[in-house]
């Protein structure tokens, strides 16, 4: 008899909540950028803040979840391949909105890397690890713009020679003229991913509990179980609905 597995439904709920916010954001983005509808607040800092909250949530949750996963490399390969599929599809069908090194590509790489170096990460006291990598995330946050610093205050600049091709772009040093509607480079986001993993280590006893059956957490938790397939099809559905309406 196959052993019944338990899921941390509270984690699925958080993932599902981030997914719902992402769908709302992409719907607004499509209305503003593809269908010519004016959404006054969507072009100011509030929209950017919403987008950052969604992205940070997904990365932290994924880093946290990798601590619970027994098949991190396999899942990482699947997510990475999905990211490549998104790049190919956008290249051929919507080149004006092409996605290169998007969030799925990054998450796939981060899953594989974290799984491979878990034993090294585990040598650090979780609270120290979380703090160190969070500081590194803040320090490298503007690496794509050539800066090293905190909260918009640069303390150093990177040499322009680092920003030269697709390899450097993957690592966080985009070449001049590089364009992608969804770009998550290895730096600085890998540091935030490690923060998520250390948050798991800090709370692993709590994390391994499954808080009751799925019905107690509702539809959002259910959606959180199928984040990847929903992510891959949601823009097609949104675009189809918007096209039909407008």
pLDDT by position in tens, the chain (length 246): 344 455 677 888 899 999 999 999 999 988 888 888 888 888 788 888 999 999 999 999 999 999 988 899 999 999 999 999 999 999 999 898 899 999 999 999 999 999 999 999 999 999 999 999 999 999 999 999 999 998 778 899 999 999 999 999 999 999 999 999 999 999 999 999 999 999 999 988 776 555 555 555 678 888 998 999 999 999 999 989 988 887
* Look-up of token digits 């969804």: 182
The pLDDT score that the predictor gives to residue 204 is 82
Q: Are 132 and 87 in contact (CB under 8 A)?
A: no
CB 229 within 8 A of CB 17: no
CA distances from 173 to 11, 109, 165, 190 (A): 33, 17, 8, 14
Q: Is 2 inside any structural domain?
A: no
Could you tell me the residue range of the domain that residue 110 belongs to?
9-245
Q: How far apart are CA 130 and CA 125, in angstroms?
A: 9
SS3 156: strand
Bridge pairing between strands 153-157 and 147-150: antiparallel
d(CA 101, CA 142): 17
In a domain, 55, yes or no: yes
Q: What's the number of domains the chain is made of? A: 1
In a domain, 3, yes or no: no
- Is residue 4, in this structure, part of any structural domain at all? no
User: Quick check: helix, strand or coil at residue 201?
Assistant: helix
Residue 205 lies in a domain: yes
Q: Is 1 inside any structural domain? A: no
DSSP H helical ranges for 43-176 = 45-66, 72-93, 103-116, 118-121, 126-139, 166-171
Within a domain: 189: yes
* Two tokens, residue 122: 């585990």
> Maximum Cα–Cα distance for the chain, whole Å?
60
């Amino acid at each position: 008899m196959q052993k019944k597995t338990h899921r941390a439904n509270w984690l699925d709920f958080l993932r599902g909540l981030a997914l719902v916010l992402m769908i709302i954001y992409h719907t607004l983005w499509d209305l503003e950028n593809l269908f010519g509808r004016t959404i006054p607040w969507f072009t100011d800092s509030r929209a950017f803040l919403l987008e950052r909250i969604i992205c940070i949530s997904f990365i932290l949750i994924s880093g946290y979840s990798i601590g619970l996963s027994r098949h991190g490399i396999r899942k990482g390969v699947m997510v990475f391949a999905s990211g490549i599929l998104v790049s190919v599809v956008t290249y051929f069908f919507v080149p004006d909105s092409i996605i290169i090194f998007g969030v799925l590509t990054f998450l796939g790489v981060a899953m594989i890397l974290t799984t491979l170096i878990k034993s090294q990460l585990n040598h650090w006291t979780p609270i120290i690890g979380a703090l160190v990598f969070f500081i590194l995330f803040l320090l490298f946050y503007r690496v794509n713009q050539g800066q090293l610093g905190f909260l918009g205050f640069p303390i150093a600049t990177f040499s322009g020679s680092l920003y030269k091709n697709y390899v450097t772009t993957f690592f966080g040093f985009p070449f001049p003229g590089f364009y992608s509607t969804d770009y998550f480079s290895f730096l600085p986001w890998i540091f935030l991913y490690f923060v998520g993993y250390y948050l798991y280590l800090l709370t692993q006893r709590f994390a391994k509990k499954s808080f009751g059956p799925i019905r107690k957490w509702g539809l959002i938790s259910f959606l959180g179980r199928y984040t990847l397939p929903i992510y891959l099809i949601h823009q097609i559905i949104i675009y189809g609905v918007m096209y039909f309406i407008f």
